[in-house]
Structure 1
Amino acid sequence: MQSLQYGSMANIDILRFLIGFVMLSYGSWSDLKTRRVPNLVWIYGGILGSVLLIYELSTIWEDYGLYLWALLFATFTLFFNSFVDEYILDKNQAMLWKSSQYLAILCSIYFFFNFDSDDISKNNYQLLDFISIPFLMILMYIWFYFGPTIGGADVKAIMAISLITPFSITFTDDSLTAFDDRGFPYPFVIFMNSLLIYLFIPICLAIFNIIKGNIESPFFQIFFGTKMELNRAKESFVWPMQQVVGKRVVMVAFVKHKSDSDKDWNRLEDEGIDYPWVTLKIPYIIPLALSFVITAFFGDIFSSNIVQPLNSLFS
């Protein structure tokens, strides 16, 4: 019986991985080619993840209580709330959605007043995995509205991942974890690993520029961009790192993404700059997709290579 259950869970892990892999692969391709990702990519991924989550919850909820179903409903509402504003709802649909939001608030209150703290340690702290899903979604809302530059598609991708892979997935026996018994909630591990991968982009750009011989003063730009033929740059998803100020061509450390690039390109052309320095519009979904695959095979690389070494310095 145990082997049958293990096989069933392993099959679900494979299914979750395939759903996430297909979703992020298509999202990365679409974002790279058009800088747009259809909402349906994340909606379909979130729905499939939700169905699997409901199935798994139906097998364990009695270990906790009805409050876990309440948390799940509030979580689903939080996810789909990120899409509703982009669609036109008729009067009945708007009323139904508003009712769902009120019900989600009541479910959240029910959860906070009914969950037992002793349940947290059950099933290897699985309750933390459930709680981490809406927590990560709220964090993404905050990051999108108040934090560093991040696209709406990036936020929706991370939120969809939290539904598709809420529990740890590993295809190897020596997967890295932050702690001995278990690691951080799996969606957070994917997110943290993606940040680590993103940090490698400047290093890769520097190596590329050194190989190409693109080494010019003040040198910092080799970590954030490369040189590109002007006409090609105009048609590519890049921003100019060089700008004309007065009668001088200067290198800018921080590119204003909302600036009028067309005027900047024309000014550079007037100054005879045929190969300007440009910074690439690299979609965050690409390192996120890489992280999704790497995490499934290698585990929590971020904590093992950054958090633990730093912690050892102060222990």
Structure 2
Amino acid sequence: MDWISVLKVAIAFIVLAIAARADWRTREASDVYWMVIGGTGMFFLAAQIVLDGANIIYLAMLAPIAWFFVDIFWDRKGMFEDGISPLPLGLYAISFGILAMMIYLYNADIYFWKLMIVPIMFLIFILLYQFDIIKGGADAKALIALSIMFPLYPIIEPFPLIDLPYDAAQFVLPFPLLILFNAAIITVIVPVLLLFYNLSKKQVRFPAMILGYRMPIEEAKGKFVWPMERVEEGAVKFSVFPPASETLNEDLDRLSAAGLKEVWVTPKIPFLIPIAASLLFSVIVGNLLFLFIR
């Protein structure tokens, strides 16, 4: 058994689970969680290069990876804001210089490109966040940190159940992207779970029953939920996708004044929860796409 992979999965999942719990309860997840995953991942990445007997020069890859990662958490001015900031500009110049040199020297080595998955994933997740495909900053940081921890598919015999068809398949859907992909699939399962939950409670209203559940109005106050019902122009109206409201308690009070005791709500489920579940699913099951690639 690959104990390094076991340790990596255990550390990443435990930290993700703690972060997801914090996000669920407070809607905040400290950057410390991602620093732990990313920092530990840097250690494992260096150890893996040495244990694999790879070209020792590949350790230089850790410098730009470390800088790109640290800069995510550095609350600083822009490099060209109020003049030129020489320190970050210099560090980026050095980092890109190292990557350019490595690409020039080792572009024919597949091991090098396995390491390049990390900065490439950084770029992809940052772009997905900028284009609002990944909604939360904590989600993007979590995925970036996981890119350092898992640039490649962790192999823990007999897992994953779906084998990699060939080594280069690592590049078809890199493991960090697989975590995001499977997390999205898990999110889609939530409406099915809500459907069965509401059927068990005999709370039938479509499509509300696949988007949320009924909750006493007083209980909804202070909860992280969006009411799917609200009072507009003196009438109670239903909205499948309720807009975010800064006056949740006032909205609920108006519903109560209109005679409602309970309200249909949709829960605010932090995406860190599907990400944590996806990590385990991806490690155990693997990439469903590989069922069709042989």
Q: Structure 1 length as normaliser, TM-score?
A: 0.80
* Equivalent residue number for residue 198 of structure 1: 187
2:210 is the counterpart of 1:223: yes
The alignment's C-alpha RMSD in Å is 2.6
Moved more, 284-293 or 169-178: 169-178
Secondary structure of the 2:46 match is: helix
Q: Deviations over 1:84-138 (max 9, x none)?
A: 1279xxxxxx76444323322322333343332x312xxxxx4443222222222
Distance change (3 Å), C-alpha of 1:243 and 1:52: same
Q: How far has the Cα of 1:21 moved from its partner?
A: 1.7
2:268 is the counterpart of 1:281: yes
Distance change (3 Å), C-alpha of 1:244 and 1:163: same
1:214 to 198, 203, 208: 203
Q: Deviations over 1:5-61 (max 9, x none)?
A: xx6xx1211221121022111111111111111111111221111111112223457
1:242 to 207, 229, 236: 229
Distance change (3 Å), C-alpha of 1:145 and 1:61: farther
* Equivalent residue number for residue 32 of structure 1: 24
Amino acid at match of 1:142: L
Q: Map 1:144-223; keep pairs closer than 5 Å.
A: 144-148=129-133, 150-173=135-158, 175-177=160-162, 180-182=165-167, 183=169, 184-216=173-205, 219-223=206-210
Q: Deviations over 1:223-276 (max 9, x none)?
A: 111111111111211111112221221221222235532332232222122211
2:99 to 77, 97, 108: 108
Distance in 2 (alpha carbons) for counterparts of 1:154 and 1:258: 22
* Higher share of residues assigned helix: 1
Amino acid at match of 1:16: K
* Equivalent residue number for residue 3 of structure 1: none
Distance in 2 (alpha carbons) for counterparts of 1:179 and 1:241: 44
Q: How far has the Cα of 1:175 moved from its partner?
A: 2.5
Q: Deviations over 1:163-206 (max 9, x none)?
A: 11222223343624475224432222222221111111111011
Q: Do the aligned residues in 2 keep the contact of 1:128 with 1:185 (CA within 8 Å)?
A: no
Q: Do the aligned residues in 1 keep the contact of 2:106 with 2:112 (CA within 8 Å)?
A: no
Secondary structure of the 1:299 match is: coil
Q: Map 1:50-199; keep pairs closer than 5 Å.
A: 50-60=42-52, 62-63=54-55, 66=57, 68-85=58-75, 96-116=87-107, 118-120=108-110, 126-148=111-133, 150-173=135-158, 175-177=160-162, 180-182=165-167, 183=169, 184-199=173-188
Amino acid at match of 1:273: L
Moved more, 95-104 or 284-293: 95-104
What is the count of residue pairs matched by the alignment? 283
Distance change (3 Å), C-alpha of 1:232 and 1:95: farther
Distance change (3 Å), C-alpha of 1:44 and 1:199: same
Q: Do the aligned residues in 2 keep the contact of 1:70 with 1:110 (CA within 8 Å)?
A: no
* Structure 1: unaligned runs, 5 residues or longer: 1-6, 88-93, 121-125
Amino acid at match of 1:188: L
Secondary structure of the 1:244 match is: strand
Amino acid at match of 2:62: L
* Equivalent residue number for residue 4 of structure 1: none
* Structure 2: unaligned runs, 5 residues or longer: 78-84
Amino acid at match of 2:18: Y
Distance in 2 (alpha carbons) for counterparts of 1:155 and 1:282: 16
Distance in 2 (alpha carbons) for counterparts of 1:244 and 1:113: 64
* Equivalent residue number for residue 81 of structure 2: none
Secondary structure of the 1:228 match is: strand
Distance change (3 Å), C-alpha of 1:76 and 1:172: same
Percent identity (aligned): 24
Distance in 2 (alpha carbons) for counterparts of 1:146 and 1:185: 20
Distance in 1 (alpha carbons) for counterparts of 2:244 and 2:45: 38
Distance change (3 Å), C-alpha of 1:264 and 1:85: same
Q: Do the aligned residues in 2 keep the contact of 1:227 with 1:275 (CA within 8 Å)?
A: yes
